[in-house]
């Protein structure tokens, strides 16, 4: 199994999403050999989307012209990110909700894997996802509880379902810890529920 592990929280050791994503990886690798690739997006400091920061496989990357020095190094990093994603059988993503959505660091990573001709294409029937056959598990931590009455304010899980589905991910699982900002009892309950869910994951 080739396993890609992504973390995106800025909170370091205090992060619930990091704790949960590590538990997911431990669960998946407990009884199986795995070739593990890890990316900490809070450390990688990926620049925002621009022709020069796109992977070379992206049609718009040519707009940047020849690249040298740091710009070429950034392009090489983008190429590796796309290659890591394409090579992975399983992807585990630790995601905190910031301001109702995903961290901008994670959005910058996603911008490097949504590439025409590599992870999706348009045909006569419309868009077709090409990144099929992958299992993706998202460990999502959020401060509030987003029930049906607050669904319109939830733009982390809903966005990830949309964008990952667009590129062909049909085996998508969420481990959710919520209510983390509503006091210690609520946080403990939310984390315990997520840990229990991880224990039920198919390895």
Average pLDDT over residues 67-90: 97
Tell me the per-residue pLDDT of 189-198, one tens digit each, with 9 for 90 and over: 999 999 999 9
> CB-based contacts of 12: which residues, under 8 Å, 6+ apart?
18, 42
Q: How far apart are CA 187 and CA 164, in angstroms?
A: 28
Name the band, by pLDDT with cuts 50, 70 and 90, for residue 142. Answer: very high
Task: Tell me the whole-structure pTM to 2 decimals.
Answer: 0.96
Mean pLDDT of the chain: 96
Q: How far apart are CA 165 and CA 104, in angstroms?
A: 20
Q: What is the pLDDT of residue 164?
A: 98
Asked if the model's pLDDT at residue 36 lies above 90, the reply is yes
Which whole-number Å values give the CA distances from 164 to 4, 76, 95, 119, 157, in the listed order?
15, 23, 14, 10, 10
Taking alpha carbons only, the member of 140, 144, 185, 190 closest to residue 160 is 140
Q: How far apart are CA 164 and CA 202, in angstroms?
A: 20
Average pLDDT over residues 129-147: 96
């Amino acid at each position: 199994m080739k396993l890609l592990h992504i973390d995106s929280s800025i909170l370091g050791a205090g992060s619930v999403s990091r704790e949960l994503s590590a538990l997911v990886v431990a669960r998946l690798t407990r009884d199986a050999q795995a070739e593990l690739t890890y990316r900490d997006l809070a450390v990688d400091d990926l620049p925002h989307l621009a022709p020069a920061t796109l992977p070379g496989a992206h049609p718009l990357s040519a707009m940047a012209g020849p690249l040298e020095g740091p710009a070429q190094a950034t392009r090489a990093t983008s190429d590796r990110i796309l290659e890591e994603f394409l090579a992975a059988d399983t992807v585990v993503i630790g995601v905190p909700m910031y301001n109702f959505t995903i961290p901008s660091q994670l959005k910058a990573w996603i911008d490097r894997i949504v590439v025409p001709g590599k992870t999706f294409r348009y045909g006569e029937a419309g868009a077709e996802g090409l990144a099929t056959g992958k299992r993706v598990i998202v460990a999502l931590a959020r401060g509030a509880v987003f029930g049906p009455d607050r669904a319109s304010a939830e733009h982390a899980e809903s966005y990830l379902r949309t964008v990952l589905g667009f590129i062909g991910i049909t085996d998508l699982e969420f481990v959710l810890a919520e209510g983390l900002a509503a006091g210690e009892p609520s946080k403990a309950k939310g984390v315990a529920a997520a840990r229990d869910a991880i224990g039920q994951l198919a390895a």
